[in-house]
Amino acid sequence: MREFKKLMPYKEAFQLMINDINEIPDVEEVSLDEALGRILAEDVKSPIDSPPFDRSAVDGYAVRAEDTFQAREYAPVELEVVDEITAGMESKTEVTHGKAVKLMTGNKLPKGANGVIMQEQVKREGNKIYVLRPVAPGQNVAFRGEDIKKGQIILRKGQILRPQDLSLLKSVGIKRVKVRRKPRVGIIVTGDELIEELDERALESGKILESNSIMLKGLVKQYFGEPVFYGILPDDESIIREKLEKAKSECDLVLITGGSAFGDKDFAHRFVNLLFHGTTIKPGRPVGYGERVFVLSGYPVAVFAQFHLFVKYALAKLVGANFKPAKVKARLTAKVSSTLGRYEFVKVWYEDGKAKPIRKSGSGLISSLVESNGYITIPEDSEGYLEGEEVEVVFY
């Protein structure tokens, strides 16, 4: 098997790839129930003020604040309760000098009131309350538009819609939003050695149960895309060429696993005008990219690394997502060594400010992915990190 004459540094390869990707212009309108994880195609403005009126922030009594200024526990101020309302009700009674209205959190502030005394800070006897502490004007009141003002941009174009974003939209009366179309991502798996059903006799003879497809489908769904599976193909040049051309014509991005190196049956990279082929990353150095096609390794761990170092960023750019993976600083629990010239993808388990390296290093050891929840990277100019050294963990 021929080796790569030269490996492109990871960051150089990444830049070539990301510069080649253009946003998908297609937009669709969806209901909030369908919008989770979708990417906003335009800024969203609030059609109303929120809160839509001055309202109580606590359960208690609406009062004129100046009536309470002299209140002390040893000299409480007496006020008359002239109305009581529950959730969703509005008092039609004006709060005048010496009066109070009992209300609940969220109730509209009655006319004349400018503060709310918490119910824990009064004593009640019949229709009288005795205020034990003074209330300042505006105290315990959420004013109209305090959270959001009408016409204010509440979510920006490119936002990845989260449950709390959907709640915000619904709270101001928005039921549908315009989002980017999900990119169609073709997935092709190649290899004569692959089987789909458990067959112990076949396994004993050298076959392997295929698992890349289900992982890639899940990753594509996790990162903004819609997977389109084109099957498991034998190492047949004409079949691979035909299926790859079909996927390229039907999809926005194509992922093909296997055939990324230079073996006699490594065909995938031969049918794409690649911007790069062979990088410094480990695992997964045979990765190639061109014409919106990623030629990936056959080993699952290498495929997983290649996806996280390249593919998820391509998908984010396709949909115009304001995407930054979640990261955290941590202390290594053990030394991690590398070789100069490699850009190493190291699986770790992060917990309580510490990153534990996963020692299983084979590209086919899927359990090492299950035992990790993030990764660190070691750049080409480093020979690794010492135990206790601070590193940056990127979560999956």
pLDDT tens profile 276-287: 999 999 999 999
In sequence order, what are the beta bridge partners of 331?
354, 390
The rounded distance, in Å, linking the Cα atoms of 303 and 367 is 14
Q: What is the pLDDT of residue 3?
A: 55
Contact in structure between 51 and 347 (CB atoms under 8 Å): no
The contacts of residue 114 (CB under 8 Å, 6+ apart) are 64, 65, 137, 138, 141
Cα 357 to its chain centre, rounded Å, is 24
With CA atoms as reference, report the closest residue to 303 among 295, 292, 314, 313.
295
Residue ranges of the chain with pLDDT lower than 70? 1-5, 260-266, 364
The rounded distance, in Å, linking the Cα atoms of 268 and 241 is 8
- Cα dihedral sign, 79-84-88-90: negative
In the chain, CATH 2.40.340.10 covers 327-395
Q: What is the pLDDT of residue 4?
A: 60
Domain 327-395: CATH class, spelled out: mainly beta
User: Which fold is adopted by the domain 10-25+182-318?
Assistant: Molybdenum Cofactor Biosythetic Enzyme; Chain A (3.40.980)
Cα separations in angstroms, 373 against 113, 189, 244, 368: 54, 25, 33, 10
In the chain, CATH 2.170.190.11 covers 55-142
Cα separations in angstroms, 335 against 219, 358, 389, 391: 30, 11, 8, 11
Element (H, E) at 168: helix 163-171
Q: What is the pLDDT of residue 87?
A: 93
Torsions phi, psi for 293 (to 5 deg): -125, 130
Contact in structure between 250 and 339 (CB atoms under 8 Å): no
User: Which pLDDT tens digit goes with each residue over 290-333?
Assistant: 999 999 999 999 999 999 999 999 999 999 999 999 999 999 99
Cα 307 to its chain centre, rounded Å, is 16
Q: What is the pLDDT of residue 1?
A: 41
In sequence order, what are the beta bridge partners of 392?
329
The rounded distance, in Å, linking the Cα atoms of 376 and 72 is 59
In the chain, CATH 3.90.105.10 covers 28-49+158-180
Torsion, Cα 31 37 43 45, to 10 degrees, reads 50
- Where does 55-142 sit in CATH, by number? 2.170.190.11
Q: What is the pLDDT of residue 5?
A: 67
In the chain, CATH 3.40.980.10 covers 10-25+182-318
Q: What is the pLDDT of residue 270?
A: 82
Cα separations in angstroms, 198 against 195, 202, 231, 234, 360: 8, 8, 17, 18, 25
Q: What is the pLDDT of residue 266?
A: 66
CATH 3.40.630.30 fits 28-49+158-180, yes or no: no
Tell me the pTM. 0.89
